[in-house]
Structure 1
Amino acid sequence: MWSSTRSILWFALPLFLILSSIPAMAHHGWGWATDQEFEITGTIVAKRLGNPHGEVTLNVDGKEWLIEVGQPWRNQRAGLTEELLSEGRIITVHGHKSAKPDERRVKAERIVIDGKDYNLYPDRSS
């Protein structure tokens, strides 16, 4: 009896761990975004910087867009600071928008502030 229960646990536990990690992998990849390049300009109305990635909310023609920026190390490497992403600043975001037509969300690859480029993903052309 003990050995059959143990066998089930050895099989079920790894399967449970693999399946429970799928939603996290789906969120943090690029799968939710379109392949098409997208550009949007707006005024920062809110921000949350930190892990797993930062978020900036833009007001664009009276509608709010959620912009995913990089992880803290990626933002720092690109030269993006909290001050540059402060409320009231106008920025242009180059990246990829959500594949869901009604979702106003963009994964930023490059951000332009006061005419200067801040490239979050230098290995990608944006």
Structure 2
Amino acid sequence: MARPLPLRMLVAALLGLLVATGAYAHHGWSWAEADQIELSGTIREISMAPPHPTLRVETKNDGVWRVELGNPRLTERSGFVEGVAKIGDPIVALGNRSLDRSEKRMKAVRITVAGKVYDIYPERIRTN
């Protein structure tokens, strides 16, 4: 006769599945369009916190966008570290826009701040 799994094991298995599914969805690019866009504006907020450093960029005609960079190590490897940019700096971000057009969000592959270029995902850049 088969014994039922203890509740603790069942809960642990479900929790593991949820974490794995969330991590897969978070780290993929499936939420972003294949085509890349260029976004120009002014930095309004900078967060270097994990899981991904982010910028809030105010554009002239389209409001404020959330610009996601790579994971902290990848972002740092590009040279974009705390202190190289500040609120009020002009920025140009090249990246992939969210598939959800109601969301002003992009995943940047390259950013340019004060004339300095930071290639976050050089292998994904489709233009030079």
Smaller-chain TM-score range? 0.7 to 0.9
Greater share of residues in strand:
2
**What is the aligned partner in structure 1 of residue 103 from structure 2?**
103
**What is the aligned partner in structure 2 of residue 75 from structure 1?**
75
Matched letter for residue 52 of structure 1 = P
Matched letter for residue 114 of structure 2 = D
Which blocks of at least 5 consecutive residues in structure 1 are unaligned?
Answer: none
Q: Percent same amino acid at aligned positions?
A: 32
**What is the aligned partner in structure 1 of residue 88 from structure 2?**
88
Asked whether the 8 Å contact 2:110–2:125 carries over to 1, the reply is no
**What is the aligned partner in structure 2 of residue 61 from structure 1?**
60
Instruction: Please report how far the alpha carbon of residue 80 of structure 1 lies from its aligned counterpart in structure 2 after TM superposition.
Output: 0.7
CA–CA distance in structure 1, aligned partners of residues 19 and 79 of structure 2: 35
CA–CA distance in structure 2, aligned partners of residues 41 and 84 of structure 1: 18
CA pair 113-12 structure 1, distance change in 2 beyond 3 A:
closer
The TM-score normalised by the length of structure 1 is 0.84
Instruction: Please report how far the alpha carbon of residue 17 of structure 1 lies from its aligned counterpart in structure 2 after TM superposition.
Output: 2.3
Q: Does 2:34 align with 1:35?
A: yes
Structure 1 runs of 4+ off > 6 angstroms? 7-12
Instruction: Please report how far the alpha carbon of residue 41 of structure 1 lies from its aligned counterpart in structure 2 after TM superposition.
Output: 0.6
Asked whether the 8 Å contact 2:52–2:68 carries over to 1, the reply is yes
